[in-house]
Structure 1
């Protein structure tokens, strides 16, 4: 067996064993999908699906991303059903880990509680200030600005000064 294959199996063992999964969850709270225990995974998948709805933690997941997360959750559910107390084969373990990591990557990127910090200089100043805002607040402000812009364009008079010949 090659060294790369052994390394992958070691990583799988660390992440798929209950103690390893629990340690990873305690150290880093961004693991939303954790397939360490089959009984808990159904509840976990249901909670993720609920949070992807409007007003949930992952409400800004796009339709394509939502479909991909659903697909990955389906793969995990099928593999866990296949396991049924037995250990999965190497390829199935790799598929399980890949599905779990893909779903986690999408959910982490669209997590409404994720804090985004920027160093920006306020208008009229050269001194940069650190400003932090959650992803949900940022997307909400972005959507409100877009709505306001489109409403202003829609309400503008037909004979506007955008054409210099009419001004």
Structure 2
């Protein structure tokens, strides 16, 4: 095995075994898990279904969707190649890289992911923790953009800039 491959494997091992990584994985299981070949086809189909509108990963954009599909296809090809025997070092590295790439994209766009911010309410300096799911945040963002576009489409006569006159 070349020095470059050993360096990559040791880097992956360090990332997997780092305390921060373990804490992140304890709270949620990896989305793409190629540990069981017989269940991977069902798992890939479920992930592709969840990337459609209304699914858990509906906020994955077109480019990310293509990348996830490509990674899922790559994993399936590697698992088919394995067919009961052990994969070579290069194939194992490719399998881990494809799995981690897909997991990174899906974790970032997971509608169930909880996002917490420390914010100070208006008129206060005391910060409070506010948590919201990624799907709720994206929904609020979409609604705000819709309202802004509706207001921009109105003529000045239809707009009400002075609340006392409305």
Q: Please, what is the CA RMSD of the aligned residues?
A: 2.8
Whether the aligned pair in 2 keeps the contact of 1:117 and 1:132 (CA below 8 Å) is yes
Instruction: With the length of structure 2 as denominator, give the TM-score of the two structures.
Output: 0.81
Find runs of 4+ consecutive structure 1 residues off by over 6 angstroms.
none
State the distance in 2 between where 1:141 and 1:156 align: 25
Is 1:67 aligned with 2:79?
no
Residue aligned with 1:117, SS: strand
The corresponding residue for 1:8 is 9
Q: 1:94-133 maps to which residues of 2 (within 5 A)?
A: 94-133=93-132
Whether the aligned pair in 2 keeps the contact of 1:72 and 1:102 (CA below 8 Å) is yes
| Gap change, CA 1:157 and 1:55, over 3 Å in 2 | same
State the distance in 2 between where 1:31 and 1:39 align: 17
State the distance in 2 between where 1:144 and 1:3 align: 49
Is 1:156 aligned with 2:155?
yes
State the distance in 2 between where 1:3 and 1:155 align: 61
Residue aligned with 1:133, SS: strand
The corresponding residue for 1:82 is 81
The corresponding residue for 2:162 is none
The CA deviation at 1:8 is 1.9
State the distance in 1 between where 2:37 and 2:78 align: 10
State the distance in 1 between where 2:81 and 2:59 align: 32
Is 1:43 aligned with 2:22?
no
Which runs of 5 or more structure 2 residues have no equivalent in the other structure? Answer: 17-24, 160-166
**CA deviation string 1:94-145 (max 9, x = no partner):** 0000000000000000011110000111111111111000000000000000
State the distance in 2 between where 1:156 and 1:134 align: 36
Paired positions, count: 151
Whether the aligned pair in 2 keeps the contact of 1:30 and 1:104 (CA below 8 Å) is no
| Gap change, CA 1:144 and 1:67, over 3 Å in 2 | same
Instruction: With the length of structure 1 as denominator, give the TM-score of the two structures.
Output: 0.80
